[in-house]
Copies of this chain bind each other. A is one copy, B any other.
């Protein structure tokens, strides 16, 4: 039995992910990576991740939650999604996609790249190049 309830296979997979990112495989990072990457894709805030970690019995500080999310983001393991003032969402879905955002529920829904077409892109201002295109369709209850 482990300190955590991560399966042997998942554990070595997650370890590899951390190593590849140049990050040491600590108990905290493994457990957070498991929460983030072992299920389906997720859109998650620091607050939610912290709550989930604690609910799963992991003693982890707020600082580590933020450090880890930022390190994973810098390493390209997470994408940051900015849709509301004040707090950041982190997205485990690294594919080229866009979002619906339901403000009343603070919820993001993926829009596959194939399900949207942006054409006639305007000329990029001289000296700059596109670093990413974010499409956010804000939704309200009908």
Q: Which residues of A contact B (CB under 8 A)?
A: 80, 82-88, 100, 102-103, 109, 111-112, 115-122, 124-125, 127-142
Contacts and interface: CB of A to CB of B under 8 A. Distances in A.
19 contacts: A82-B83, A85-B87, A100-B125, A100-B128, A102-B125, A102-B128, A109-B125, A115-B122, A116-B122, A117-B120, A125-B139, A127-B141, A127-B142, A128-B142, A129-B141, A130-B137, A130-B138, A130-B139, A132-B138
Contacts of A124: 100, 137, 139
A111 B130 CA distance: 14
Contacts of A100: 124-125, 128
Contacts of A87: 85
**10 A-B pairs with the lowest CB-CB distances in the bound complex, closest first:** A115-B122, A128-B139, A117-B120, A131-B140, A131-B138, A134-B136, A132-B138, A117-B119, A129-B142, A85-B88
B135 A131 contact: no
